[in-house]
């Protein structure tokens, strides 16, 4: 019998042998050992410089049954995979802006470019791509689409699928496929873009993205209000959401209050923007709802608080999940979850965090409890992080779907990835 360490060593050795098979295609400087988060989930890393090289990599992997996964900063892979894939395909060397049209408010960029880099480029034109997942400086555009990442601005600007108007990916047989186009009104390939968004690299490798971009608000401020309990915070959040066109709106559980100088307080965040007249009106309306018990941040303090809110994680959390329910059900559901949370109050979405369970059984019970709460509220819960030791025997990352949906997704996976090499085991039903 081979123990876990022995199995890992054997897999690593096999991955290294597989990587050496690409030395005729890539020079040795573009074949490397995994680093940091990559180490536990990738056997070796390839760094192609072109779509043609990615096509060759895929064809060879299919011919030799070598598993692979696209990789950005490896954060999602490190949270999900129960065992390594043989090869990671990094687009670190494919990070160019291909076309940026400020007048048309569209941008075409290679998938290895980070969101932070793209927004710094567009800032000179007072524009941005308002998808704001945690750590945009680490989030590549390909990973952002593949994992359907989003943040606080989902309330006012939508999610990745609302801003993505085209993409290119390399799939089965090394074939290059495109969906959508550079014109905002173009709806060709709409379904293809929806399929690739949130596919977690299980259908192909995204190499190029096309987004519509938005103007930065002329001015913006952030209201912060502490509450002793969650119910009144959610009540005020609902009233503000109904009354004002807020940029973003969050409620944080008491465990996060210390991060913003309010220990053991639930916090309400409400961001608002526009010209000076619009700001004055919204600030006055917020004051009426809160009765003066709030602080308003502007300028650099507002930007710093927003960045902390966007990037917020629970340092000692072992379990993490995303809950999505009807907005009116969010408060009740979160109180039943018995977890710390960051709630996007106007959207019905929350990130849940729980400390280390004692074992796989307890982890399964916690996640099952969260999923039952979501089901009762006509929503769903997706696990986003689980300790590596619990991934093989612990709860599944995705909700169990009905038989018809499972057959449909299995058919799609088989169609896009008949060789089963693309990030296997990382989608619904362990596809």
Tell me the per-residue pLDDT of 304-350, one tens digit each, with 9 for 90 and over.
Answer: 999 999 999 887 778 889 999 999 999 999 999 989 999 999 999 99
Domain encompassing residue 303: 219-310
Is the domain of 191 the same as that of 232? no
Domain boundary, last residue among 90, 113, 139: 90
Is the domain of 243 the same as that of 292? yes
Q: What is the CA radius of gyration of the chain?
A: 22
* φ, ψ for residue 158, nearest 5 deg: 90, -170
| Any domain includes 408 | no
Is the domain of 202 the same as that of 229? no
- What is the CATH number for 242? 3.30.70.2190
What's this model's pTM, rounded to 2 decimal places? Answer: 0.90
Selection from 157, 175, 178, 156 nearest residue 166 by Cα: 178
How far is 75 from 146, CA to CA, in rounded Å?
A: 12
Counting every residue written for the chain, the total comes to 431
Is the domain of 115 the same as that of 207? yes
Is the domain of 63 the same as that of 31? yes
| Any domain includes 425 | no
User: In the block, which residue shows the tokens 């689409």?
Assistant: 145
Within 10 A of 409 (CB to CB), how many other CB atoms are there?
A: 17
Is the domain of 17 the same as that of 66? yes
Is the domain of 225 the same as that of 300? yes
Within 10 A of 149 (CB to CB), how many other CB atoms are there?
A: 21
- What is the CATH number for 327? 3.30.70
- What is the CATH number for 180? 3.30.465.10
Is the domain of 51 the same as that of 143? no
Is the domain of 210 the same as that of 223? no
| Any domain includes 57 | yes
Question: What pLDDT sits at residue 185?
Answer: 47
How far is 30 from 51, CA to CA, in rounded Å?
A: 15
Question: What pLDDT sits at residue 1?
Answer: 27
| Any domain includes 179 | yes
Question: What pLDDT sits at residue 353?
Answer: 93
Question: What pLDDT sits at residue 192?
Answer: 83
Is the domain of 250 the same as that of 146? no
Is the domain of 36 the same as that of 8? yes
Within 10 A of 37 (CB to CB), how many other CB atoms are there?
A: 17
Helix (H, G, I), strand (E, B) or coil at 228: coil
Question: What pLDDT sits at residue 27?
Answer: 85
Domain boundary, last residue among 281, 310, 339: 310
Is the domain of 194 the same as that of 245? no
| Any domain includes 415 | no
| Any domain includes 327 | yes
- What is the CATH number for 59? 3.30.43.10
- Rounded to 10 degrees, the C-alpha dihedral 397/402/404/409 comes to -10
Domain boundary, last residue among 90, 106, 121: 90
Q: How many domains does the chain divide into?
A: 4
| Any domain includes 226 | yes
Question: What pLDDT sits at residue 15?
Answer: 65
- Angstrom CA distances, 138 to 117, 133, 308, 410, stand at 9, 10, 15, 31
Would you say the C-alpha torsion 59, 40, 12, 27 has a positive or negative sign? positive
- In this prediction, the residues of the chain whose per-residue pLDDT falls under 70 are 1-16, 182-190, 393-395, 399
Question: What pLDDT sits at residue 407?
Answer: 86
| Any domain includes 332 | yes
Q: What is the pLDDT of residues 172-197, one digit of tens each?
A: 999 999 988 765 544 444 478 888 99
């Amino acid at each position: 019998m081979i123990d876990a360490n022995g199995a890992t060593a054997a897999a690593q050795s096999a991955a290294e042998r597989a990587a050496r098979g690409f030395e005729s295609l890539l020079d040795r400087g573009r074949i490397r050992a995994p680093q940091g988060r990559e180490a536990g989930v990738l056997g070796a890393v390839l760094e192609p410089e072109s779509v043609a090289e990615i096509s060759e990599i895929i064809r060879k992997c299919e011919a030799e049954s070598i598993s692979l996964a696209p990789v950005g900063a490896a954060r999602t892979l490190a949270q999900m995979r129960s065992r390594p894939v043989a090869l990671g395909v990094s687009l670190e060397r494919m990070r160019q802006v291909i076309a940026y049209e400020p007048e048309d408010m569209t941008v075409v960029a290679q998938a290895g470019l980070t969101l932070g880099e793209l927004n710094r480029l567009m800032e000179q034109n007072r524009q941005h791509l308002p998808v704001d997942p945690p750590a945009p400086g680490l989030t590549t555009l390909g990973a952002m689409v593949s994992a359907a990442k989003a943040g606080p601005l989902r309330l006012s600007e939508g999610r990745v699928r609302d801003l993505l108007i085209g993409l290119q990916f390399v799939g089965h047989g090394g074939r290059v496929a495109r969906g959508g186009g550079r014109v905002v009104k173009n709806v060709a390939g709409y379904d293809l873009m929806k399929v690739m968004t949130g596919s977690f690299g299980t259908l192909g490798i995204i190499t190029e993205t096309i987004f519509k971009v938005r103007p930065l608000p002329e001015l913006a401020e952030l209201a912060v209000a502490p509450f002793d309990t969650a119910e009144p915070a959610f009540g005020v959040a609902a009233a503000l959401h109904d009354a004002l066109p807020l940029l973003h709106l969050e409620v944080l559980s008491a465990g996060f209050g210390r991060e913003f100088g309010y220990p053991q307080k639930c916090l309400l965040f409400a961001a608002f923007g526009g010209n000076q007249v619009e700001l004055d009106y919204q600030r006055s309306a917020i004051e009426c709802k809160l009765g003066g018990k709030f602080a308003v941040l502007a300028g650099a303090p507002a930007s710093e608080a927003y960045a902390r809110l966007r990037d917020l994680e629970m340092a000692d959390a072992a379990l993490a999940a995303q809950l999505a329910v009807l907005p009116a059900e969010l408060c009740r559901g979160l109180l039943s979850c018995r977890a710390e949370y960051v709630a996007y109050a106007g959207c019905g979405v929350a990130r849940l965090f729980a400390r280390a369970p004692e074992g796989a059984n307890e982890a399964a019970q916690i996640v099952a409890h969260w999923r039952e709460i979501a089901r009762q509220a006509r929503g769903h819960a997706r696990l986003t992080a689980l300790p590596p030791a619990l991934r093989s025997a612990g709860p599944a990352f995705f909700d169990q779907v009905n038989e018809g949906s499972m057959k449909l997704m299995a058919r799609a996976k088989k169609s896009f990835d008949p060789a089963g090499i693309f990030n296997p085991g990382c989608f619904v039903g362990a596809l």
